[in-house]
Chain A
Amino acid sequence: MREQLPALQVVIPLLGAVLCALLRRGAIAWVIALGVSWTLAVVSVLLLLQVLDTGPISYAMGDWAPPWGIEYRVDALSGFLLVLISVVGAVIMPYAHTSVCDEIEERNQGWFYTMYLLCLAGLLGIAITGDAFNAFVFLEISSLSTYAMIALGRDRRALLAAYQYLIMGTIGATMYVIGVGLLYSMTGSLNLVDIASRLGDVETSRPILAAIAFITVGVSLKLALFPLHVWLPNAYAFAPSVATAFLAATATKVAVYLLLRFLFSVFGVAIVVQGLPVTEIFLVLSLAAMFGASIVAIFQEDIKRMLAYSSVAQIGYITLGIALASQTGLTGGIVHLANHAMTKAALFLLLGAVVYRIGACKITDMAGLAKKMPVTMGAFVVAGLGIIGTPGTAGFISKWYLASGALEKGWWWLALLIVASSLLSVIYIGRVVEVIWFRPLAKAGEKASEMPLQMMIPALVLVAATIYFGFDTTWTADVAARAAQVLLPGAP
């Protein structure tokens, strides 16, 4: 049984999705989604423990030996991602029922959970597969279900957001597959480990360079790297609250994983860092994201949009880890995947509760809301501190690693810029905190009351996690450090 765990990561959510699609009733579909999410969380934790204990797991799908067959490969990095995705899903699902009943029509609820499970299968699949083309198929499974989930939003602009994302996402995925095609025609293999070993034989010729370019740009579209982020704010702002929280925490993170995998495991430091200006490009774009998106976030009226721009800025921190390309820097980037995921999921869940109570999340409607929803708004402040990265929250840990990575290289100016961009997040979080706590109650909030318990517990669990992982880093930074070792073998 234990050796079949890697396959279960993908098979269980796929079967669950089919069941949901057949049964269609919202409540039953929710129970299935809940059961599947929790099972997956257990499975992925078992996998990660096994990897940390005995080293990478290789699983031959259908018993076809790699590199001919599809290999599922779990190492410290992919195990970390698997746990991240499935645990976020498991925490969000108990919350989902109330919010989905409120925001999505009865006849579409079953479909929503179908799409959620398909998306989960796709995201877990990308993280676990060791096959470049298989990763493309999972990328499209997760993307197509994401477009449908976004289109289920109440506002009619959700349709436009989904359409825009469909166009951008498909261009990204197609560019990725072009890159894989070039790699395949040069190396004759699709297995990532096999490609990496064969690239040593092929000189760094023009098709390989083109493949690096296509894959980097394609995946950067999916992870919303700064100039390629235009789909993200609308998609997050108009999607149903549960979908926003889930996607913000997982979808872009998995794309980052794919990028890390290709840049460091497949192409390798020798080609990417020493031969090409990839790190310089990422450095500039990350800084542009950290400052540009934060400044745009300050001027948003809709808090969901504001947090979406904040996500673009936070992705800048993650890609900064790629730009540093050192053990400490990559640890910071990878640990920020998890830290940002839980913090941002918490914030979007809390906003979902606001939408549930007052029907909107415009900053003017939220004025003085702390008088009616003190727990929600108190948690919002704590999670906001996590985004800013104040000491004692998870966000501080990742920024600490990034700043030390910068100082190791002697880039003291970069450490200063990291602090400076955090100050920008103080402004956009602080602005909301000021309005919700210190302004007179707005008309929209007069009938509001505290959020129901089944919504409060998942949100508070995530908020508590941001505090907890600010102190105990055994399961975040230490695992991330091992993941960084996987990417940079030989580094101290």
Chain B
Amino acid sequence: MALIEQIVAHYNHWVTIFLMVAGLYIVVARGNMVKKLVGLALFQTSVYLLYITPGKILGGTAPILDEKFQTYSNPLPHVLILTAIVVGVATLALGLALVVRINEAYGTIEEDEIFPEGEDS
């Protein structure tokens, strides 16, 4: 029973781990280049959760200096993740742009169809 309680209490971590593993699995298992990028985005998204959940204190407010508020949530993880989101968007955009160019050059975005022709690549 204690085990179940512990699992339920840390449900945010379970969601994080699920997203992380699912994203990584898609990257490895799928041959479609757009799907791979979707997996990659999922993998990166899990990190956002990993950072933000420990930063939130239940009942905590935004960090405002006032006598009425005693418990503050840590704002730094949010700032960090804002940066990480920008990085993630840039990566996804560049990845999709590359996929468009690959589609123009090869006529397909399936890895199975591209790799047999170029033996050494």
A residues in contact (CB < 8 Å) with B: 133, 136-137, 140, 144, 147-148, 151, 156-157, 159-163, 166-167, 170-171, 174, 177-178, 181-182, 184-185, 190, 234, 301-302, 305
Contact = CB atoms under 8 A, between A and B. Distances in A.
A190 B80 CA distance: 11
B43 to A, nearest CB: 6
Contacts of B87: 136-137, 140
Contact of B90 (A144, A162, A185, A301): A144
B98 A166 contact: yes
Given A144-B90, A157-B118, A159-B102, 20 more contacts: A136-B84, A147-B98, A148-B94, A151-B98, A156-B105, A161-B121, A163-B95, A167-B40, A170-B40, A171-B24, A171-B40, A174-B43, A174-B47, A177-B84, A181-B50, A181-B51, A184-B77, A185-B54, A190-B80, A305-B120
B105 A167 contact: no
B85 to A, nearest CB: 12
9 contacts: A133-B83, A147-B94, A159-B102, A161-B121, A166-B94, A170-B91, A171-B27, A181-B51, A185-B54
Contacts of B83: 133, 137
A486 to B, nearest CB: 27
A185 B47 CA distance: 13
B101 A166 contact: no
A159 B43 contact: no
B82 to A, nearest CB: 11
The A interface is mostly helix, strand or loop, or mixed, namely: helix
Given A151-B101, A160-B121, A174-B43, A166 B33 contact: no
B10 to A, nearest CB: 13
Interface of B: 20, 24, 27, 33, 36, 40, 43-44, 47, 50-51, 54, 77, 80, 83-84, 87, 90-91, 94-95, 98-99, 101-102, 105-106, 114, 118, 120-121
B90 A163 contact: no
Minimum-distance CB pairs A-B, first 6: A156-B105, A185-B54, A140-B87, A157-B121, A163-B98, A159-B102
A178 B121 CA distance: 31
Given A171-B24, A171-B27, A177-B84, A163 B33 contact: yes
Given A159-B102, A160-B102, A177-B84, A140 B91 contact: yes
B98 A167 contact: no
Nearest to B39: A167
A157 B119 CA distance: 11
Contacts of A163: 33, 95, 98-99, 102
Given A144-B91, A178-B50, A167 B27 contact: yes
B35 to A, nearest CB: 12
A133 B98 contact: no
A219 B15 CA distance: 25
A214 to B, nearest CB: 10
B42 to A, nearest CB: 11
